[in-house]
Chains A and B, each alone.
Chain A
Amino acid sequence: MIQAFNISKSFGESKILNDVSLSFEKGKTNLIIGESGSGKTVLMKCMVGLYDVNKGKVEYDGRNISKMSFKEKREIRKELGMLFQGGALFDSFNVEENIMFPLSMFTKKSYEEKLERVNFCLKRVNLENVNNLLTSELSGGMTKRVAIARAISLNPKYLFCDEPNSGLDPKTADVIDELISEITQEFQITTIINTHDMNSVLNIGDNIAFLYKGKLWWQGNKTEILKTDNNELNDFVFATELTKRLK
């Protein structure tokens, strides 16, 4: 379980997050939704320790990351997997080397053992025989899947996904959503996803937090979100012509 307590974060005069408290449960896909600029990515980067918070704390199963030393933070980061918006695969490596990288850095496995794990992770994200492809040769959906494979290669306890569907067609986006949801349940990971894709919200949103102007505005699940009378959330959920018609 990951808990954020009273997180506030500013950049200069601009206050991005204001007293946000949230908890994310194990084995569930926890979604953070909100308009662009609402503070979703900043909140995620505060939670993983890429940004220092101005106020508040983040706890990983009771371990306060904000008070940890550099060495302790590095240890806890080995339990994290993160899927970045653009994949963040290493350009100079091929697919196999990308997924093998965390294994080479933090395990003493032989090449054969590492390769076995790489192939398992690739199979898990429905990709096979792509080991030698360069990252520039991958499609958008493949890039995301390889990034997921890399994120799960060390069996993480916590998985962070920053807009996993951005730039993907609806069908591929659906496949990625399903994949993340399956992996979360299968390996009992605490998964946190930043998104503004309503399909993802309705598809895999076990626990949904809506951020509005840097504040936690609403929290619920995929069933409750359709029945809420929160005006700002309704404006967000039913913003497109399609969702308006569905309503």
Chain B
Amino acid sequence: MIKNIGRYVILMLETFRRPDKGSVFCKQLMREFKDLGIDSLGIVAIISVFMGAVVAIQTAYNIDSPLIPLSMVGFTTRQSIVLEFSPTIISLILAGKVGSRIASEIGTMRISEQIDALRIMGVNPASYLLLPKITAAVIINPVLIIISIVIGLFGGWLACLITGMVTPTDYVVGLRGWFEAFTIFYALIKTVVFAFIITSVSGYMGYYTKGGSLEVGASSTKAVVYSSILIILFNLILTQMLLS
């Protein structure tokens, strides 16, 4: 455990060095925006719309007191999606999609000596491979989460419209009521931390892969498991720090 933490810290120190060439870094960064961000839009949208719909229906189902206004459905859906569902659940989904991709890509490069080839050329492999991924995820994931929030809230509205449990007007009144901008800020801080965890932990797992294709698979699995555990752990820590 201590050995792994030490190796992770050393890898991060190597990663956060000045890129060997700025223009190559920018090109890599653009590619990562596409691979990690734009390519994840589909899954983020699908999950978000259904997540929003389910939260709205469940909230409406649980409100059976006539003293509670039905606009609370909109309010609760918004708070649930902004505070927890979009930043945490979507990050967990991305840990599976992006994390396994990063670990297997870098792991394959390790076992096929591509990382050694970079080092022989005089390139810093950690910085070349990981820095664009970490930078891209830290920038693009908050954008994905904002999109997820918007789609999630739309999903809730759609559920209200289709099921008729709450009128769309009541839902929108709830959505707009008692809004605190800090909740968005809190969601984005969490997202940035989770993005760093996903990319750096997955990169670490891939970078130190030893063996063959079986080990690449194992690294990929470990990347998802450890990233997910750390996301849950840091979710608790950040929530305690920012909301208590």
Contacts and interface: CB of A to CB of B under 8 A. Distances in A.
Nearest to A162: B113
Q: How large is the interface on B (under 10, 10 to 19, 20 to 34, 35 or more residues)?
A: 10 to 19
A187 interface: no
A88 B114 contact: yes
B122 A88 contact: no
B116 A88 contact: yes
Contacts of B113: 84-86, 88
Interface string B4-39: 000000000000000011011000000000000000
Q: How large is the interface on A (under 10, 10 to 19, 20 to 34, 35 or more residues)?
A: 20 to 34
B181 interface: no
A48 B116 CA distance: 10
Chain B CB within 10 Å, residue with most, of A104, A105, A160: A105
B117 interface: yes
B117 A106 contact: no
Contact of B108 (A74, A91, A101): A91
B214 interface: no
Contacts of B21: 104-106
A94 B170 CA distance: 56
A82 B122 contact: no
Nearest to B117: A88
Contact of B20 (A45, A50, A84, A105): A105
A19 to B, nearest CB: 25
Interface string B122-153: 11100000000000000000000000000000
B120 interface: yes
Interface string B102-127: 00000011001110110111111000
A201 interface: no
A80 interface: yes
Interface of A: 45, 48, 50, 74-75, 77-78, 80, 82, 84-86, 88-91, 101-102, 104-106, 160
